[in-house]
Amino acid sequence: MMANRLVGLRNQIVRSFSTSTALLQGTSAAQSALPNPTEGPSLVAPPIPVFGLEGRYASALFSAASKQKKLDQIDADFQKLDRLLTQNKAIGDLFRNPGVTREQRMALINEIGVSDMTRATLETLVDNRREKKLVKFVSVMNRLMAANRGELICRVITAKPLDDKLRSELDSVLKQFSKKGEKVNVETTVDPSIMGGMIVEVGDRYIDMSISSKIK
């Protein structure tokens, strides 16, 4: 069944990603009008376009880190945050929980242990009541930093582990979405709850081809 899905995977991804790209382009004008408290007068352009409020925070942080030559430090911070949020979803839930105080959120940030620049950005996120954006902000920042390293992050969720043949076929399909000279970094995760099929995320593009989503 999985092999049959991989045969038409590229066409499904192309169709779905084309739709999501059009939606992003349609909302970008409205999003650009949103205020960004961290944005300075002259930004260093990020390596890829990022959208939404979380994208504006990410662009501002990238610019500041670039000017201060701290991109490697910021990159390490957000890889660490991504691992923590992936391994322990309760952390993300704490930031979304309205019953958690600012002091408790800041104590958690300090406990995680990140650089001063990253901590200041997260503090701004909290002070401006944008803490619910934390998970998306971390995701956007990691995509941005991966692009800066010349990588394209692809995340794939399947109900069962992929065998070597299927993994090779999937890698080949996903590589077609990369730019010339761009390294494709494929991360696979097993989640039996999706029942079958797969969920694919390539950069800022997302497609849910799981059986559970079709049932819903």
Which residue intervals of the chain are DSSP H helices? 2-7, 9-32, 52-67, 71-87, 89-96, 102-112, 116-127, 134-148, 164-175, 211-215
CB 63 within 8 A of CB 44: yes
* CA–CA distance, 150 with 178 (Å, rounded to integer): 10
Per-residue pLDDT tens digits for 50-107: 888 888 888 888 988 998 899 999 999 999 998 888 887 778 787 788 888 888 888 8
Per-residue pLDDT tens digits for 159-179: 888 888 888 888 888 888 777
pLDDT over threshold 70, residue 132: yes
Per-residue pLDDT tens digits for 107-121: 888 888 888 889 888
Q: Please, which pLDDT band fits residue 7 given cuts at 50, 70 and 90? A: very low
* CA–CA distance, 142 with 151 (Å, rounded to integer): 11
Q: Please, which pLDDT band fits residue 35 given cuts at 50, 70 and 90? A: very low
In this structure, the chain runs to a length of: 216
**So what's the pLDDT on residue 78?**
93
**Chain centroid, CA 118 distance in Å:** 16
φ/ψ (deg, to 5) at 57:
-65, -45
CB 52 within 8 A of CB 136: yes
* CA–CA distance, 101 with 177 (Å, rounded to integer): 42
Regarding predicted confidence, which is higher, 17 or 198?
198
* Pairing outcome for strands 183-190 and 151-158: parallel
Class of the 52-148 domain?
A: mainly alpha
The pTM assigned to this predicted structure is 0.62
CB 162 within 8 A of CB 1: no
